[in-house]
Amino acid sequence: MFETFRQSFSLRCTANANMFLFALKKIPIIKKLIPETAYSEPALKIFAKIVILLFEIGKFVLGKLAYLGIMVALPVVPVATQHEVPKSTVFLHILLFLTLIGGIVNINLFKGDERSYQAINLLQMDARRFTLSNFIYYLLCTALSFLPFMLLFGILSDVPVWLCLLLPLAIVGTKLVFAALNIFSYNRIGIVADDAKATWVLLPVWIILLLAAYIPPITGRIVPPTVSAGILLAMIPLGALSVLPVIRFRKYKEVNQSILSHTRQQMDTNKNRIKVTMQKQITADVTQTSSRSGFEFLNELFVKRHRKLLWGATLKVSAVLAVLLAILISVIRFVPPSRAVINDMLLTRTSVLWIVLYAINRSAGFTQACFMNCDNAMLTYPFFKKPGSILKLFRIRLRELIKINALPAGIIGAGMTLMLAMTGGTEQPVNYLVLLLAPIAINMFFSVHFLMLYYLFQPYTAGSVMKGGMYSILATGTYMFCYFMMRATLPTFGFGLVCIVFCAAYFLIACALVYKFAPKTFKIHN
Amino acid sequence: MKFVISHIAKSFEKKEVLRDIDFTFEAGKIYGLLGRNGAGKTTLFNCINSDLKPDSGSFMLEENGQQRSMNSDDIGYVLSTPTVPEFLTGREFLKFFCDINKSRIKQLQDPDAYFDYMSIQPEDRDKLLKDYSHGMKNKMQMIVNIIAEPNLLLLDEPLTSLDVVVAEEMKELLRAQKDGRIIILSTHILDLALDLCDEIVLLSHGVLEPVEKENLDSHEFREKIIAALREEDHV
B142 to chain A: closest CA residue: A381
User: Alpha helices, DSSP H only, in A335-422?
Assistant: 337-348, 353-360, 363-370, 376-378, 387-422
A376 touches chain B (CB under 8 A): yes
Task: Compute CA distances B98 → A273, A498, B128, B147, whole Å.
Answer: 32, 46, 18, 8
Q: Taking 70 as the threshold, does the pLDDT of residue A278 lie above it?
A: no
Q: Exposed, middle or buried: residue A178 (CB in 10 Å: 0-12, 13-18, 19+)? A: buried
Domain ranges of chain A: 63-264, 272-521
CA-based nearest residue to A462, from A374, A367, A376, A370: A376
Q: If you write DSSP's letter for every residue of B171-219 in order, what string do you get? A: HHHHHHH-TTSEEEEEES-HHHHHHH-SEEEEEETTEEEEE--TT--HH
Which residues lie across from B199 on neighbouring strands?
B31
Q: What residues of chain B lie within 8 A of the CB of A386, using their CB?
A: 72
Distance separating alpha carbons of residues A147 and A165, to the nearest angstrom: 7
Judged by a CB distance cut-off of 8 A, whether residue A383 touches chain B is: yes
Number of domains, chain B = 1
Q: How far is A249 from chain B (nearest CA, A)?
A: 39
Give the DSSP H or E segment for A496: helix A492-521
Neighboring chain A residues of B73 at a CB cutoff of 8 Å: 382-383
A297, B96: Cβ pair inside 8 Å?
yes
Asked whether residue B79 carries a pLDDT value surpassing 80, the answer given is yes
Q: Average pLDDT in the B73-99 region?
A: 90
Predicted local confidence at residue A91, as pLDDT: 94
Q: What single letter denotes the amino acid at residue A34?
A: I
Question: Which residues of chain B are within 8 Å of residue A279 when distances are taken between CB atoms?
Answer: 86, 130
Q: What is the pLDDT of residues A114-160, one digit of tens each?
A: 777 777 777 777 888 888 888 898 899 999 999 999 999 999 999 99
Mean pLDDT value of segment A313-328: 90
Sorting pLDDT into bands at 50, 70 and 90, what band is A274? low
3-state secondary structure A95-137: HHHHHHHHHHHCCCCCCCCHHHHHHHHHCCCCHHHHHHHHHHH
Calpha distance A265→A257 (Å, rounded): 10
Would an 8 Å CB–CB cutoff place B11 in contact with chain A?
no
Angle made by CA atoms B159, B148, B68, in degrees to the nearest 5 = 105
pLDDT band at B235 (very low <50, low <70, confident <90, very high): very low
Shortest CB distance from B99 goes to which of A294, A373, A386?
A294
Interhelix angle B134-148/B164-177, nearest 10 degrees? 10
Between residues B214 and A168, the one the model is more confident about: A168
Note whether A302 contacts B46, CB cutoff 8 Å.
no
Triad B128, B129, B130: Cα angle to 5°: 90
pLDDT tens, position by position, B115-141: 988 889 999 999 999 889 888 998 899
How close B91 comes to chain A (CA, Å)?
A: 11
Distances (CA, A) of A286 to A296, A307, A312, A451, B131: 17, 13, 20, 28, 12
Residue A452: which H helix or E strand, with range? helix A430-456
Q: So what's the pLDDT on residue A150?
A: 94
Q: Rounded mean pLDDT of A399-418?
A: 93
Q: What is the pLDDT of residues A357-393, one digit of tens each?
A: 998 888 888 888 898 889 988 988 888 888 888 889 9
First-to-last C-alpha distance (Å) of chain A: 40
CA nearest to A102, candidates A236, A186, A193, A197: A193
Q: What is the domain-level CATH number for residue B23?
A: 3.40.50.300
A167 vs A46, which has greater pLDDT?
A167
Chain A residues near residue B158 by CB distance under 8 angstroms: none
Beta-strand pair B56-63/B30-34: unpaired
B14 near A CB under 8 A: yes
| Binary contact (B88, A293; C-beta < 8 A) | no
Angle at A524 between CA A51 and CA B68, to 5 degrees: 140
Contact across the interface for B87 and A374, Cβ inside 8 Å: yes
Of B49 and A166, the structure prediction assigns the larger pLDDT to A166
pLDDT at A404: 92
pLDDT in tens, A60-118: 888 899 899 988 888 888 888 888 899 999 999 999 999 999 888 888 887 767 777 77
- Give the closest residue to A360 by CA, choosing from A302, A319, A301, A399: A319
Q: What average pLDDT does this structure show over A307-328?
A: 89
> Facing residues of B154 across strands?
B77, B184
113-152 of B, contacting A, C-beta below 8 A: 126-128, 130-131, 144, 148, 150
Q: What is the ipTM of this complex?
A: 0.86
Rg (CA), chain B: 18
The secondary structure of B15-48 as a DSSP string is EEEEEEEEEEEETT-EEEEE--TTSSHHHHHHHH
The amino acid that residue A177 corresponds to is: V
Cα torsion angle, A221, A225, A228, A230, sign: negative
The shortest C-alpha distance from B85 to chain A (Å) reads 5
The answer to whether the CB of B65 falls within 8 A of the CB of B57 is: no
Distance from CA of B226 to the nearest CA of A (A): 30
* pLDDT at residue number A261: 62
Q: Chain B contacts of A373, Cβ < 8 Å?
A: 85-87
CB-based contact A512:A456 (threshold 8 Å): no
Q: Averaging pLDDT over each range in A229-243, A263-277, A318-332, which range is the top one?
A: A229-243
Q: Nearest-CA residue of chain A relative to B87? A: A282
Using CB atoms, which residue from A36, A295, A376 is nearest to B83?
A376
Tell me how close the Cα of B46 comes to any Cα of chain A, in angstroms.
9
pLDDT surpassing 90 at residue A515: no
Chain A residue whose CA is closest to B104: A383
Asked if B77's CB is within 8 angstroms of A380's CB, the reply is yes
Task: Give B-chain residues touching A297 at CB under 8 angstroms.
Answer: 92, 95-96, 99
| Inter-chain CB proximity B128 and A284 less than 8 Å | yes
User: How many CA atoms lie less than 13 Å away from B211 in the CB half-sphere?
Assistant: 28
- Residue among A266, A383, A392 with most chain B CBs within 10 A, to mutate: A383
Query: Chain B, 87-106: which have a CB under 8 Å from a chain A CB?
Result: 87-89, 92, 95-97, 99-101
Spatial distance between the Cα atoms of B34 and B201, rounded to a whole number of angstroms = 6
Residue among B79, B96, B144 minimizing CB distance to A298: B96
Give the model's pLDDT for residue B232: 55
Check pLDDT > 90 for residue B8.
yes
| CA B217 vs CA A142, B188, B194: distances in Å | 74, 20, 11
Closest CA relative to residue A365, chosen from A463, A281, A488: A281
Which of A378, A385, A526 shows the shortest C-beta gap to B85?
A378
Q: What is the mean pLDDT of chain A?
A: 85
Range list of H helices, A39-106? 42-66, 76-83, 87-105
Query: What is the domain extent for residue B151?
Result: 2-234
pTM (two decimals): 0.71
Beta carbons within 8 Å of A52's beta carbon, 6+ residues apart:
A13, A16, A17, A20
Q: Do B100 and A284 touch (CB under 8 A)?
A: no
Instruction: Count Cα neighbours of B104 within 13 Å in the Cβ-side half-sphere.
Output: 17
- Calculate the alpha carbon distances from A406 to A412, A437, A490 in Å: 10, 11, 24
CB contact under 8 A, A284 and B86: no
B152-156 and B75-78 strand pairing: parallel
Chain B residues in contact with A380 by the CB 8 A cut-off are 49, 51, 77, 79, 83
Between A387-422 and A294-305, two packed helices, what is the crossing angle to 10 degrees? 50
* Residue B103 burial class via C-beta count within 10 angstroms: exposed 0-12, middle 13-18, buried 19 and up: exposed
Q: Is the pLDDT of residue A462 over 70?
A: no
Secondary structure element (H or E) that encloses residue A299, with its range? helix A294-305
Query: What is the DSSP-derived secondary structure letter of residue B128?
Result: B
Q: How many CB atoms lie within 10 A of CB A52?
A: 19
Helix (H) or strand (E) holding A202: helix A196-218
Instruction: Tell me A32's DSSP state.
Output: G
Check if the beta carbon of residue A32 is closer than 8 Å to that of residue A160.
Answer: no
Is there a contact between B130 and A279 if contact means CB atoms under 8 Å apart? yes
Pair A510, A448: CB distance under 8 Å: yes
Is residue A167 within a helix (H) or strand (E), and if so which, with residue range?
A: helix A161-189
Contact B96 A523 (CB under 8 A): no
The alpha helices in B51-150, defined as continuous H runs, are 90-101, 111-117, 134-148
Chain A residue with minimum CA distance to B91: A286
- Work out how many CB contacts closer than 8 A connect A with B: 79
| CA dihedral of residues A232, A234, A237, A239 (deg, nearest 10) | -50
The answer to whether the CB atoms of B85 and A294 lie below 8 A apart is no
